[in-house]
């Protein structure tokens, strides 16, 4: 497995819809997910979508371990999702700060559904079907947006709340990119 380079905003691949995975048991899917895990770990990300490493397939990974340095960032289960579907539960939204490995150094205040249901397949083809809220729901929505060619800056309602992390959060409490 390997740490891969991250595509950054401006790359047309990040604005394209990714394709469904047709064979979950394909050996190269395991290689892809291994590379995604290595890349996310090396960059201390909260999540990563396959298009971010240049692979236009509907695969995302995410997960945040409890980190004593960032006690305000809640834990998110380590998850691999192939062909995910996300649907809102209710219409309640909340705004929260996001960063993205494909938009390095920046943060924006992004509205997301507060509660969602998400489904997808794990690497063995098993169904994952969960409800999530808050930060967990936010990470899932951010990652799945990547599969539809959506980067978080396009969702920011007020661009005054979009800027350089080091300026917005001089004390470095902004959390992780995804
Ligand atoms: Ni991202």
- Percent with pLDDT over 90 in the chain: 83
Q: Do the beta carbons of residue 46 and residue 62 sit within 8 Å?
A: yes
Q: Do the beta carbons of residue 60 and residue 78 sit within 8 Å?
A: no
Calculate ∠ Cα 166-40-133, nearest 5°. 80
Q: Do the beta carbons of residue 116 and residue 141 sit within 8 Å?
A: yes
- Per-residue pLDDT at 173: 66
CA–CA gap between residue 140 and residue 10 (Å, rounded): 23
Count up the domains in the chain and report the number: 1
Question: What range defines the domain where residue 86 resides?
Answer: 12-168
- What is the 3-state composition of the chain as percent helix, strand, coil, each rounded to the nearest 5? 30, 35, 40
Split at pLDDT 50, 70, 90, the class of 174 is low
Expressed in angstroms and rounded, the spacing between residue 165 Cα and the centre of ligand 1 is 15
Q: What CATH number is given to the structural domain containing 160?
A: 3.90.45.10
Query: What six digits make up the tokens of 43?
Result: 């960059």
Give the pLDDT confidence of 97-140 residue by residue, as tens digits: 999 999 999 999 999 999 999 999 999 899 999 999 999 999 99
Is the residue at 175 inside a domain? no
* Catalytic residue, candidates 20, 78, 143, 171: 143
Q: Does 78 have pLDDT greater than 70?
A: yes
Expressed in angstroms and rounded, the spacing between residue 23 Cα and the centre of ligand 1 is 25
Is the residue at 7 inside a domain? no
Is the residue at 177 inside a domain? no
Q: Which residues surround ligand 1, an ion (CB under 5 A)?
A: 100, 178
Is the residue at 125 inside a domain? yes
Give the pLDDT confidence of 138-163 residue by residue, as tens digits: 999 999 999 999 999 999 999 999 99
Split at pLDDT 50, 70, 90, the class of 74 is confident
Locus of tokens 């959506």: 150
- Per-residue pLDDT at 1: 84
């Amino acid at each position: 497995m390997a740490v891969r380079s991250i595509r950054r905003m401006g790359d047309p691949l990040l604005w394209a819809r990714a394709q469904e995975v047709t064979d979950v048991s394909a050996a190269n899917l395991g290689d892809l997910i291994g590379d995604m895990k290595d890349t996310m770990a090396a960059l201390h990300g909260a999540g990563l979508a396959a298009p971010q490493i240049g692979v236009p397939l509907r695969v995302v990974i995410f997960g945040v371990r409890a980190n004593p340095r960032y006690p305000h960032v809640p834990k998110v289960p380590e998850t691999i999702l192939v062909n995910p579907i996300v649907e809102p539960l209710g219409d309640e939204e909340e705004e929260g700060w996001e960063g993205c490995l494909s938009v390095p150094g920046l943060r924006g205040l992004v509205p997301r559904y507060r509660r969602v249901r998400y489904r997808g397949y794990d690497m063995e083809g098993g169904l994952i079907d969960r409800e999530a809220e808050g930060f967990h729901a936010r990470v899932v929505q951010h990652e799945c947006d990547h599969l539809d060619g959506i980067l978080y800056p396009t969702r920011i309602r007020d661009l005054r709340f979009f800027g350089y992390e080091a300026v917005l959060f001089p004390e470095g409490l902004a959390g992780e990119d995804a």
